[in-house]
Amino acid sequence: MPGLFVKKEDKVRVLTGKDRGKTGRVLRVIPGKGRVLVEGIAFVKRHTRPNPSKNIKGGIVERESTVHISNLKVVCSECGEATEGLGFDRFRPKLEKNRDTLVAKYGCRTVRFQVHVKEGKTALKATPVR
- Where along the chain do its domains lie? 1-84, 85-130
Contacts of 115 (CB under 8 A, 6+ apart): 86, 87, 88, 91, 122, 123, 124, 125
CATH topology of domain 1-84: SH3 type barrels. (2.30.30)
Question: How much is the pLDDT for 127?
Answer: 81
**What pLDDT is stored for residue 120 in this prediction?**
58
pLDDT over threshold 90, residue 88 = no
What residue ranges in the chain does DSSP mark as E strands?
11-14, 23-30, 35-38, 43-48, 59-64, 66-68, 72-74, 110-118, 121-129
Q: How confident is the model at residue 38 (pLDDT cuts 50, 70, 90)?
A: very high
Check residue 104 and give its pLDDT. 84
Contacts 24+ apart (CB under 8 A), 17-24: 17/42, 17/67, 17/71, 18/42, 19/67, 23/75, 23/80
Is pLDDT larger for residue 59 or for residue 92? 59
Q: Does residue 73 carry a pLDDT above 80?
A: yes
Confidence of residue 117 (pLDDT cuts 50, 70, 90): low
The residue among 28 and 120 whose pLDDT is bigger is 28
0.85 exceeded by the pTM?
A: no
